[in-house]
Amino acid sequence: MPPTNTEICFAATEMAPIVTFGELLVDFVPTVAGLSLSDAPAFKKAPGGAPANVAVGVCRLGGIAAFIGKVGKDEFGQMLVDVLKEEGVNVRGVRFDPNARTALAFVTLRTDGEREFMFYRNPSADMLMVQAELDMDLIRGARIFHFGSISLISEPSRSTHLAALKLAKESGALLSYDPNLRLPLWPSPEAARDRIMSIWREADIIKVSDEEVKFLTNGGDEKLDEVIMSLYHQAPNLKLFLVTDGPDGCRYYTPDFKGQVESYPVETVDTTGAGDAFVAGLLNKLVQDKSLLTDEAALRSALQFACACGAITTTGRGAIPSLPVVDDVLKLINNVAV
């Protein structure tokens, strides 16, 4: 039985083919780029948290997704869950904690739209989810189980993460991993590197940014295939390894082929959530057709779609508010193609 200090969110009872696990928080994004947090005149409140962004992204694209995580029993936590409900995300796996606050993140935007973060979560509710609070049936029903690394930082969320991952794997789900490195949250770079790599070999699909390649290889050249392959070979069951290169698109590596897909030119405002939109676009295609893992033409088409999802998300402020719908994605792809 879940602990008595936890409330369960009953909003949907059906299973979901894509289940994401991890943090759900509030991003405060400055209304003016290029200023420090102290100089920003105002902030826009935006729901966020990478795994939650992916779940919303899938639903925006017409897919079915569920989110598993924990928020505080406070106004921010209720607001976040309400947003997920409104977006069509299955929230039966969300828990409320009356004794801890919902996590907050203040985001500094550089003039190029890139970000720096300052977090308020010591500890926040997402760090306190325990194994007994997991919706086991939701995990067992997943065809794709997606997760990051933030929940690996401390206990009890680390053990809960590992238990969820183990159950998903035993139940036959594809395991999708986006480490989503946030160094300020970790006690040290070494701890971040070790914990991120501790579950590396479990994944079927891994997506990292070019900057994360550099970090995980201790300063290796993220542009070199041999550096990429040094990470690839540490995951023996890996079916697809993706390296996102920001506005330059992505590189893909499978046991049978590799290549590069270009992205789409847009006017970038804020890169928050771009990687999550990319993942949502890919997983939404993958859950419909798993053969794209072995069909390069199909994979390239799915990655072009994913790149367009990521590009569109950079044109607005905040992650969830900027995630695209299918019509917008196809419009961008078709306009560029013309």
Q: Is residue 9 part of a domain?
A: no
DSSP symbols for 100-112: SBPPEEEEEEPTT
**Tens of pLDDT along 25-65?**
998 988 887 888 888 899 988 899 999 999 999 999 999 99
* Structural domains of the chain, count: 1
pLDDT at 152: 98
pLDDT at residue 12, as a whole number:
46
- Dihedral of CA 176/318/328/15: which sign? positive
- Does 272 fall in a domain? yes
> Has residue 11 been placed in a domain?
no
pLDDT at 116: 76
b (16+ CB within 10 A) / e for 98-114: eebbbbbbbbbbeeebe
User: What are 71's two structure tokens?
Assistant: 């928020």
Half-sphere exposure in the Cβ direction for 174 (13 Å, CA): 20
Domain assignment present for residue 139? The answer is yes
**Strand, helix or coil for residue 3:** coil
Backbone φ and ψ of 244, nearest 5°: -90, 140
Whether residue 1 is contained in a domain is answered as no
Spell out, as residue ranges, where the chain has pLDDT lower than 50.
Answer: 1-13, 338
Print the domain residue range for 279.
18-337
Helix axes 50-60, 274-286, angle to 10 degrees: 50
- In angstroms, the CA 81 to CA 21 distance is 14
Is 5 a domain residue?
no
One-letter amino acid for residue 306 of the chain: A
Tell me if 7 is assigned to some domain: no
275: domain CATH number is: 3.40.1190.20
Per-residue pLDDT, 14: 73
Q: What local confidence, expressed as pLDDT, does residue 114 receive?
A: 67
> Would residue 3 count as lying in a domain?
no
In this prediction, residue 4 carries a pLDDT of 34
Instruction: Give residues with Cβ within 8 angstroms of 153, minimum separation 6.
Output: 127, 185, 186, 187, 195
